[in-house]
Structure 1
Amino acid sequence: MATEASQTHPFRSVPRTTEFQPNPISVSPPTISATHDGLEFWQFMVAGSIAGSVEHTAMFPVDTLKTRMQALSGSVSVRPIGVRQALGSILKLEGPSVLYRGIGAMGLGAGPAHAVYFSVYEHFKELFSREKPNNPVAHAAAGVFATVASDAVITPMDVVKQRLQLKSSPYKGLGDCVRRVLMEEGFGAFYASYRTTVVMNAPFTAVHFATYEAAKRGLTEVSPESASDERLVVHATAGAVAGALAAAVTTPLDVVKTQLQCQGVCGCDRYSSSSIGEVIKSIVVKEGKQGLMRGWIPRMLFHAPAAAICWSTYEASKTFFQTLNQSNHNYH
């Protein structure tokens, strides 16, 4: 598999053929900015950007459904509804095109954010895993560093995306939403949910990456002789398992994040601060603890296939760059 390349250093030591012992640095091949897996840092960024864009574009309608179900969870007048009922209502009253409203904002945010996400993950994964390549704690820790960095990039566009996804959204489009939020609420509104997002995505990513690496390793060990031929299936299956588990565990914090990002818009409650505790208390008082699990089904329906798509695309992109780098190396 692609990740196994990280276990072998790309350059072997040069044999000593004379009495003179040169400095090892002087006899090494010219240094290239390659990291583990035989890829350069920018190649991890490109692979991650492609994976994120494909993932969010493919799964955007499900994300819209999740946002609709979560946004009004604090309202007394809203009764809990199922996925089928919510989807049917949207299609009947607004049409299928509304499921893609806000995709432009996600398009602008997903590419750069996932470029940061995967490149930071690969860097810290290599840094933390040198002594033990299959260390799940190292994978989880690397994932936490990755999400803190990527969330700083994507949070503003996620705010815009979710506000555009709301029923009867007052914004005409991406530009109008950005302009009005800046004028009416200030720049800080774009980061009102950042702390919640990080608090949510840190355990999400830790569970996700640790589960993905463990599932991938387990699936490979089941049939090692065909692991190379079934690489795409392995990545997709491991990604789906990891995405579903991480999504289920972190749904309450995702509800809080949606509430903070959509507060004051289309009937959503407004909060005096960005306190996670305040939002949780408000939801529990009005709906009970079940209100914190609003939208968990579409969230899992989003993250399981989304993670499968994302990891498959990412690993395929890595394989492409590895092949390209190897061919360039052989050519020279």
Structure 2
Amino acid sequence: MKDESSVTNASDNARQTTTHDNSQPASPEAAASAAEPEDVLTFRGHMVAGAVAGTAEHLAMYPVDTIKTRMQALSHPGQQLRGSTLARATKAVIRREGIRGLYGGFWAVAAGAGPAHALYFSAYEAAKRALNGDRPGHHPLATGAAGVVATLVNDGVMVPFDVVKQRLQVARSPYKGVTDCIMKMLRYEGVGAFYRSFRTTIVMNVPFTAVHFATYESAKTAMARWAGREQEEETLLVQLLAGGTAGGVAAGVTTPLDVVKTRLQLQGVHSPQHYNTSAMIPVLKRIMAEEGQRALWSGLKPRILFHVPAAAICWGTYETSKSIMQHM
């Protein structure tokens, strides 16, 4: 009996060893094939999470964006908003136009925000992964550079929607709606009108996004260290606080460029004034010469008040959506 048991155990051990050894070798092709669906799913997951986050951000913060646009635009006679406080400006719009006045052009941004942010976040994640490589930890320069790549992809899609949105946001807009605005722009101004502010938008969004993403990742790392946690254990509160901080800092330092972009997109619509150029520097100089330096900071408060909660909502929604999809 003892000898039979020993033979049986030896046979079992041999089978286990053989099975274990057979599971080890795997060709690079097989490993790549097995990993490919996960990579595709991850990329798609970033796109879905980005689309959800972008839509949620713009839906929640659109009224503040409308007030910011009106404060930066050349004011229509009798409807002065520049120099007004955010609360007074909001009350003035509601008194004259009702709640609907705060949502002019909403459907333009609703149509563009999802696809644009899907590309935005998926491009950011891919670029960050490529730039960071196998290096552990947070690298602000690589993160900022990944943000620049993301904004170049995003702006190519979003700028035309943003132009239509802002033309419908202003007081007494000559357009009946999104479709009417698009058709009249094509008829009277041509396709180029949709990209008139593209260069200025890029010049504004490159530093904005670089500062935004680098600040967000740095803030998360700092908060994790302060709380004595690993960054992988970050909470929704950390994401919201880091997102809000990043949005506020980036919005503040790029406000003058945003004013120039708004003027370029609204020229000839909210005012008869034309700049006869799509270049940023000449418009910047003209605003300073005719209206003073303060005009370049028009809409600073609503811009910051927009981007702080908007970035918090966007990052919180994005990170939460990613987490949900990773566990599906």
TM-score w.r.t. length of structure 2: 0.87
Amino acid in structure 1 at the alignment position of 2:184:
R
Q: Using the alignment, how far apart are the partners of 2:233 and 2:21 within structure 1?
A: 42
Map of 1:245 onto structure 2: 249
The structure 1 residue matched to 2:70, chosen from 56, 68, 71, is 68
Q: What is the deviation of 1:190?
A: 0.1
Deviation at 1:28, TM superposition (A): 6.3
SS class of match (2:295) = helix
1:235 and 2:239 correspond? yes
1:121 equivalent to 2:128? Answer no
Aligned-residue offset at 1:33: 3.6
Distance of aligned partners of 1:181 and 1:229 in 2 relative to their CA distance in 1, 3 Å threshold: same
Aligned residue in 2 for 1:181: 185
Name the structure with the higher helix share.
2
- What are the within-5 Å matches in structure 2 for residues 154-165 of structure 1? 154-165=158-169
The answer to whether 1:111 aligns with 2:114 is: yes
In structure 1, give the amino acid aligned to 2:319: E
Supply the AA of the counterpart residue of 1:109: G
- Once the 2 structures are TM-superposed, how far is the Cα of residue 99 of structure 1 from its aligned partner? 0.3
1:259 counterpart = 2:254: no
Over the aligned positions, Cα root-mean-square deviation in angstroms equals: 2.4
User: Structure 1 stretches of 5 or more lacking a match?
Assistant: 1-14, 325-332
Deviations 1:156-182 (A, max 9, x none): 010000000000001000000000000
8 Å contact from structure 1 (residues 155, 190) kept in 2 = yes
Contact map agreement 1:207 1:246 (CA 8 A) in 2: yes
Structure 1 residue 93: Cα displacement = 1.6
Describe the SS at the equivalent of 1:40. helix
Offset at residue 266 of structure 1 (A)? 2.2
Code of the residue aligned with 1:260 in structure 2: it is L
Structure 2 stretches lacking a partner, 5+ long = 1-18
Residue identity opposite 1:130 in structure 2: G
Q: Which amino acid aligns with 1:210?
A: A
**TM-score with structure 1 setting the length:** 0.86
The answer to whether the 8 Å contact 1:113/1:150 transfers is yes
Percentage of pairs with the same residue = 49
* Conserved? CA contact 2:76–2:171, under 8 Å: no
| Residues 88-111 of structure 1 deviation map (CA, whole Å, 9 limit, x = unaligned) | 211222212210111100000110
Distance 1:29 1:176 in 2: 49
Residues 1-332 of structure 1 correspond to what in structure 2 (within 5 A)?
Answer: 17=21, 23-26=27-30, 30-35=34-39, 40-72=42-74, 80-132=83-135, 133-225=137-229, 231-267=235-271, 269-324=273-328
Contact 2:208–2:254, Cα closer than 8 Å, also in 1: yes
* 1: CA distance, partners of 2:76 / 2:212: 28
| Residues paired across the two proteins, number | 306
Contact 2:120–2:153 (Cα < 8 Å) also in 1: yes
| Per-residue deviation, 1:26 | 3.9
